[in-house]
Amino acid sequence: MRVFLDTNVLVSAIATRGLCTDVLQLVVAQHDLLVGDTVRSELRRVLREKIRLPGSLIDEFDAFLVRHGTVVRASGPPSVTTRDPTDLPVLAEAASASADILVTGDRDLLELTAAPLPIMSPRGFWEFVRARPR
């Protein structure tokens, strides 16, 4: 499965030990990780400004994502309307990458009714994957 992870999932994966860390590990081990340039840029900013990680750790995590995933760019804006226009580039990257699913904790994205692909919370994705037969 091609899985696009949003910034908030990746921030939680590195900043805490919990579900998002497990989701990242599961995606890297068993699925195709997709990460967008917009997400990488936002991730670097959040880890630097809000989490206050050293630049070397940020670089290391970014290199991990590049090494274990596929970096994607949007081919054009999606034809949907969102409450938060800053979500559009993320949605566009996930759709352009032909992601099977977008995993996010962003409530605005989770509540979209006309999304171009399935969108799940980290918990929803975890339960979905665990319920699937192998």
Residue 82 clears pLDDT 90, i.e. is over it: no
Q: Please give the radius of gyration of the chain, using alpha carbons only, rounded to the nearest integer.
A: 14
DSSP string, 31-59: SEEEEEHHHHHHHHHHHHHTS---HHHHH
What residues form DSSP beta bridges with 113? Answer: none
Q: pLDDT tens-digit profile of 55-79?
A: 999 999 999 999 999 999 887 777 7
pLDDT for position 83 = 82
CATH of the domain at 48: 3.40.50.1010
Which range marks the domain in which residue 15 is found?
2-131
53 secondary structure, DSSP code: -
Q: Is residue 22 very low, low, confident or very high in pLDDT (cuts 50, 70, 90)?
A: very high
85 secondary structure, DSSP code: G
Residue 49 clears pLDDT 80, i.e. is over it: yes
Residue 134 clears pLDDT 80, i.e. is over it: no
- E strands, the chain, are 2-5, 32-36, 69-72, 101-103, 119-120
pLDDT for position 64 = 97
Give the number of domains in the chain.
Answer: 1
87 secondary structure, DSSP code: G
Q: pLDDT tens-digit profile of 25-34?
A: 999 999 999 9
Burial annotation 31-44 (CB, 10 A radius, 16+ → b, else e): bbbbbbebbbebbb
Q: Which two tokens stand for residue 68?
A: 């274990």
Q: Is residue 6 very low, low, confident or very high in pLDDT (cuts 50, 70, 90)?
A: very high
What mean pLDDT, rounded, does the chain reach? Answer: 93
pLDDT for position 127 = 96
